[in-house]
Structure 1
Amino acid sequence: MSADPRLRSRAQQQQQAAAVPPPPPPPMEPQPQPMGMDGANDAPAGQKDAVVDRFNLKFCTVCASNQNRSMEAHLQLASANLPTISFGTGSLVRLPGPSVDEPNVYRFNSTTYEAIHNELAQQNTQLYTANGLLNMLGRNLTIKRFPERFQDWVPGKPRLDHEGDKGAHGTEAGVVDVVITCEERCFDAVLDDLHNKGGKLNRPVHVFNVDIRDNHQEALVGGKAILDLALSLNEAAGKERDIHGDNGWDRGSGSARGGFDERVPEIVAAWQERWPNLPALWSLAWV
Structure 2
Amino acid sequence: MTIEWHTLNREPSLTDLYVKAATRRKITGTTLPTTGLRCWITVDPQRLAAYRKVCGFADNGLLPPTYPHILAFALQMQLLTDKTFPFPLLGLIHLGNRIRILRPMGGVNRARVSVQVQNLQPHAKGATFDLVTTLDDQLGVLWEAQSQMLCRGVKLEGEPVEEVLASTLELMEVARWQAPADIGRQYAKVSGDYNPIHLSAVSARLFGFPTAIAHGLWNKARTIAALSEHLPAANVEIAVQFRKPVRLPSEVTLLSSAAGSSGDFQLVGAGDLEHMVGHWRPVA
Q: Please state which band the TM-score falls in when normalised by the shorter chain.
A: under 0.3
Structure 1 length as normaliser, TM-score? Answer: 0.24
**Higher percent of residues as helix:** 1
Structure 2 length as normaliser, TM-score? Answer: 0.25
**Higher percent of residues as strand:** 2
